[in-house]
Structure 1
Amino acid sequence: MRSAKLLTAAGLLASASLVLAGCSAPAPENVELRMTVWTANEDQLALFDTIADEYIAEHPEVKSITFDPLPFEDYTTTLTTQIAGGKAPDLAWILENAAPDFVSSGALADIEETLEGTEGYEFDDLNDAATALWVKDDKLIAYPFSTSPFVVFANDDLLAEAGLPSSAEIKASGWDWEAVAEAGATVNAKTGKAGFVIRDFDYTTWDNLASVWMGWGAKPWSEDGATCEFDSTEMADAFEFLHTAAFEQKSMPGPGTTADFFAGEAAFTVTQISRASLLAEGGYTWNLLPLPEGPEGEYSMVGQAGIGVMKQGKNAEVAAQFLAFFSNPENSERLAQWFPPARDSQLNSDTLAAANPVLSAEQIEDVVVPGIATGVTRPSHTDSAEIGQTVRAALDAIWTADADIPAVLADVCTAIDPLLEK
């Protein structure tokens, strides 16, 4: 059996040999659509179902629309396995780190004509920066349904317990990574709780560390993806900071140690704004701040996902029409409570505050809107699964107390150079 982890763009293209039905095809009946997602959140799925029911009520040819949650950890692998096995969904969420494979492969149907031609869709309202990752040959082939900035949540009660100023006061005196690390070290020493946590990193999901290393001006590879840059001075300095935080300052949980900010176990966490709904679980005073400055100054990063229509799906044309409904202005505004929209007209405090009542208008205006408008996505590359696994394995050597950081990063480049050259 062919491993989905080794699927390349060419493999996806071969799996997606079917094309949209021509105009002469008979009108579809009793259509059953399936869309893969990685959320199992009951509230989110309930909203999806509501939108689907509204669509079905107006389109009797559609019998059902099913949202199929797949585990996040293996999402792309499972999706590509389904495609390779001839069981592709009609629509699918696609992570930004897998976008180059899906966009370049031909696995996705061109949706631009359908979206543009849908009455009331307001296609020109889609933000250029948000759509950039999902364009092929100047045509949009996936809709950027979620553009969620990475931010810092702070637990002011835990800072006070450690005898520190509030997060707002810390920010006012100089909001950079050194300030976060120093405060985090004090929190750990005084309370035994964690200082700062890069959520979902857990010493495995290395590309989440881009939320830190971007502050040093570091990149994993060149803009064209052909040259490894893990061995740059900027990347070494960023990893020196993280290594010191974990092994010397104890401001960041070390390998094998976990801490959940939303359960009150850490003073700061770096995560996406879409996690704000978890704040209700904490019972503490919290604050929202932008990413701290690094040596290169201010920066923003977004996590993004697109919704694509699979050419190999049985009902690609109907699926594209449903996507136009799912992502129209009205539904985009409803979805904004969890998935920040890609529409310029909705990137404002009024829309986002209404959808995110847990956040203040000031927090949205000062942190969320600028983060979406200026943020860049995490690193991505074709053959993302193989490159990701290779980088992760090579980086394991850096997470020991006596690691030779420049040497380890040079080894990362040695390991991935053949993959980048493909």
Structure 2
Amino acid sequence: MKTNQTKGVVRLLTLLLVLLLTTSMAFATGAKEEAAPSGSVSMTIATWTSNPDQIALLDSFVQGFAAQKGIEIDVTFESIPFAEYNTKLSLELQGQNGPDLFWVLETAAPAFIESGLLANLNDAMQAYDPEDISSDALELWSKDGNVYAIPFSTSPFFILYNKDLFTKAGLKTPEQYASEGAWNWDTFKMASKTIKEKTGVWGFQTVDGQGYDARILHNLAPIVRSYGGDFWTNDGQVLINSDASVAAVQLFHDMVYQDVSVVPPGNQSDFFAGNAAMTVGQISRVSKLNEASFAWGIAPMPSGPEGKSPVIGQAAIGAHSKGKQAALASELVAYMTNKDSVAAMSGIWPPARKSVLESEAFLTSNKSVSKEQMQNAVAASIKTGRVLPSHVKYPQIEVESKMVFDKLWQKNADVGAILDEVATVYAKYIK
């Protein structure tokens, strides 16, 4: 465990160094001028997905763009594991052969914009009805009136559950609890414990099994916010050690170490293999259940004392400002996020385009998900949800706060005291 933690800290410190160096460099804010491409052009696109169907869909957009431009594009998709994504991508962007286009995480958006690694997309967007893109969705990816990345996914987190295990434990399903207005964190905790006691199978696995490491915020935010707490706010308030936040984190800690119903740190039990009754997912992960050996369903995130507070995972695509094909890459970003493109991928990544989100076709865009499930767990949550907190100093915040969060994952941890330490770290940067 200590070895893995050390490796994680080293990766994060590397990212911190890279972003600090890039911030200090005098990058131009827009794509550099290039001669019009002709013949065959080579381009690389960095993502954190390795799903072959998703890669094939992205490739179809590239080829559609190439046909429109009358050129050939020899595209390479580089799939970087999520836990390593920011670190490895930042390093690659400093070299001569960094990706031309790349996905960007919401938490890292301000840092990447400040570093100058993202090309200005204002001109490229004009060909594809930019007014159709939600201004709220664009806010995180803009600065001083300029757009530096375009969100292709505005995807809320929800509960994926194993129907067979709920039936075996004699419980109603999360969807049934939700229809009765009883789907809250206390019910979630009770169901997890009951399933573990009656079936021997874990009640809950954190999102991607990374809730103690790369996805601490993804794991805790839905509970913390529905309790009335938060990590920090845009106006500089640090709330991670508020009474509400402490109560929320204590609930999760109790599930892990008192109820023993949650897959613990270091255990590789996987929901998708039938080794847990629930996990947190997004529409893009539903395809992993195509060959599932059990019946499954989708429910909204549980509510807390302050009601529902859906968390939205937002990802955008940008163009490398210093890439060899920066102008062409900027145009490709705009093409990949036009109305037709986002409609084609809306069943995987709910888009930021208003015309697509408000369409009937969106609710039936994923064949594995019912119209009712898409409405209740996805569409409704997009309207009321919020993205994870972000900050221009997020790489530094993540490095230091993770080392403190690591103290939580032991049975006798003092949750309140540890969150006070996290708050001290946040206060150094959140102003």
Amino acid of the structure 2 residue aligned with 1:203 = Y
Q: Percent identity?
A: 34
1:6 aligns with 2:17: yes
Q: Cα deviation per residue 1:222-249 (whole Å; 9 max; x = unaligned)?
A: 323x453322112111111111111112
Pair 1:10–1:370, CA change in 2 (3 A)? farther
* Cα distance in structure 2, aligned partners of 1:260 and 1:320: 38
Unaligned runs of 5+ in 1: none
Match of 1:64 in 2: 74
Q: Is the 8 A contact 2:226 2:306 kept in 1?
A: yes
Match of 2:191 in 1: 183
Q: Is the 8 A contact 2:30 2:121 kept in 1?
A: no
Q: Is the 8 A contact 1:129 1:373 kept in 2?
A: no
Name which of 108, 112, 116 aligns with 2:118.
108
Q: Cα deviation per residue 1:369-419 (whole Å; 9 max; x = unaligned)?
A: 111222211122223223212111101112211111111111222344334
Matches within 5 A, 1:119-268: 121-171=128-178, 172=180, 174-200=182-208, 201-204=210-213, 205-208=215-218, 209-224=220-235, 226-268=236-278
Q: Is the 8 A contact 2:47 2:103 kept in 1?
A: yes
1:20 aligns with 2:34: no
Q: CA deviation at 1:125?
A: 1.3
Matches within 5 A, 1:322-401: 322-348=332-358, 350-401=360-411
Pair 1:266–1:63, CA change in 2 (3 A)? closer
Q: CA deviation at 1:315?
A: 1.6
SS in 2 for 1:99: helix
Name which of 410, 417, 421 aligns with 2:420.
410
Q: Is the 8 A contact 1:18 1:312 kept in 2?
A: no
Q: TM-score, normalised by structure 1?
A: 0.91
Pair 1:132–1:18, CA change in 2 (3 A)? closer
SS in 2 for 1:50: helix
* Cα distance in structure 1, aligned partners of 2:77 and 2:266: 34
Q: CA deviation at 1:355?
A: 2.6
Q: Cα deviation per residue 1:308-337 (whole Å; 9 max; x = unaligned)?
A: 112111121111111222222111111223
Match of 1:48 in 2: 58
Larger deviation, residues 53-62 vs 124-133: 53-62
Q: Is the 8 A contact 2:63 2:73 kept in 1?
A: no
Q: CA deviation at 1:149?
A: 0.7
Q: Cα deviation per residue 1:29-72 (whole Å; 9 max; x = unaligned)?
A: 34322221111111111122222222223324454232222222
Pair 1:174–1:80, CA change in 2 (3 A)? same
* Cα distance in structure 2, aligned partners of 1:105 and 1:255: 34
Larger deviation, residues 263-272 vs 188-197: 263-272
Match of 1:312 in 2: 322
Q: Is the 8 A contact 1:6 1:386 kept in 2?
A: no
Q: CA deviation at 1:184?
A: 0.8
* Cα distance in structure 2, aligned partners of 1:144 and 1:173: 33
Larger deviation, residues 61-70 vs 322-331: 61-70
SS in 2 for 1:64: strand
Amino acid of the structure 1 residue aligned with 2:59 = D
Pair 1:86–1:14, CA change in 2 (3 A)? farther
Amino acid of the structure 2 residue aligned with 1:266 = A
1:85 aligns with 2:92: no
Unaligned runs of 5+ in 2: 1-12
SS in 1 for 2:390: coil
* Cα distance in structure 2, aligned partners of 1:163 and 1:268: 15
Q: TM-score, normalised by structure 2?
A: 0.90
Q: Is the 8 A contact 1:349 1:365 kept in 2?
A: no
Number of aligned residue pairs:
414
